[in-house]
Amino acid sequence: MQPVNKCDSRVPACTDGCNKPFRLTEIRGMGLTRRLDEHGDHPALIFPDRTPITYRDLARRVTSLAAEFGPEKKLVAVAAEPTEHAVISYLAALHGKHVVALIPPCNASALDDFVADYSPEIICRRVDARWCCRAEAGESNGALHPDLAVLLGTSGSTGKSRYVRLSAAAIEANAAAIVSYLELDHRDRAALILPFHYSYGLSVLNSHLEAGASTYFPKHGASHTDFAQEIREASCTNVSGVPYSFEMMDHAGFRRHDLPTLRFMTVAGGRMQQALAETFRRHLADKSARFFMMYGQTEATARIAYVLPTSSRAIWAASALPSRAANSGWLMKTAGQSKKMASRANSSTEVPML
């Protein structure tokens, strides 16, 4: 077979080492990516002022790039910018059953450190304003575990980021669980304001792909006064954010806007002020929408637990969701039931961890 160019066909060709060929091969990917073409011409990825990328087109481009990556399991580093090229590179690595590390795109040292420490065989990033997946010279760091699929960095507050190892089974189980409890289907459209190198943001993307739903990438952030109007015009059905996202939205007047398609919002990633949480819960309830407070860890593929929007105010008041849940069992009461949830941070996590 003829070698193919690794650079995205929709951007100018790369130079200086970006033309080292991979060879085409038959690839059978993981479930999340194998099912993409089942959703046909329904929009998968939507960017402002662009024609939406349909599931059919996404499946074609993912399969093509996965074939270029080759059959041997490789370590692929992706600068996880909020663009179609980065998302397709991530999905192509999953589809080819490679290991994909999602690196913060605005931190050049993070990618440099990862390359120096782990020697990925393929690096996907923007080079001179062109998106390129380039094969790196040099020897591999050794055999990759057959179950390993995704590496997500921690905050690196004590130095370089450390990477949590996640299996394809964990990724898929987490996405399916979120689809179930949020009742996602093809009619949903997320406004993705979280980076997808962050486990919470990645879970939003994965769950919507699993459901055959759409993901919209807004041009305005949560702090912008036009954010609410933008997601109204985009017919978004949900927004997920960290507590600070909701503080910014509230400051920008988010609740003053009528958003007829919005059916739920979710928050995780830290303790949310009780008053603000109650404000958003009541606001959404008045609009026949729901507000989910969640708790998660990267080690558990993001979501571990959530508080039902119908829970009483007393339960909400007690639901800061434990700040020290790691390495212990804890009880959370919801709707009159007690459920024991377990997390094992900073150690191997059993999968699927739900």
Amino acid (1-letter code) at residue 63: T
Rounded-to-integer distance, Cα 90 and Cα 39, Å: 19
pLDDT of residue 136: 87
* 232-261 residue pLDDT tens: 999 999 999 999 999 999 999 999 999 999
Q: Is the pTM of this model over 0.85?
A: no
* 115-156 residue pLDDT tens: 999 999 999 999 988 999 999 876 666 789 999 999 999 865
pLDDT above 70 covers what percent of the chain? Answer: 75
Sequence-ordered list of residues with C-beta below 8 angstroms from that of 105, at least 6 positions apart, any chain:
79, 80, 81, 86, 125, 126, 195, 197
Looking at every residue in the chain, the average pLDDT score rounds to 82
Backbone angles phi, psi at 229, to 5 degrees: -65, -35
Tokens at 117, concatenated: 């420490």
Q: At 154, is the secondary structure helix, strand, or coil?
A: coil
- 6 has a pLDDT exceeding 60: no
Pick the residue with more confidence: 10 or 131?
A: 131
Tokens at 352, concatenated: 């699927």
In this structure, the chain runs to a length of: 354
Rounded-to-integer distance, Cα 92 and Cα 65, Å: 6
CA 301 to chain centroid, in Å, comes to 10
pLDDT above 90 covers what percent of the chain? Answer: 66
**Domains identified in the chain and CATH numbers:** 31-167 (3.40.50.980), 218-341 (3.40.50.980)
pLDDT of residue 330: 36
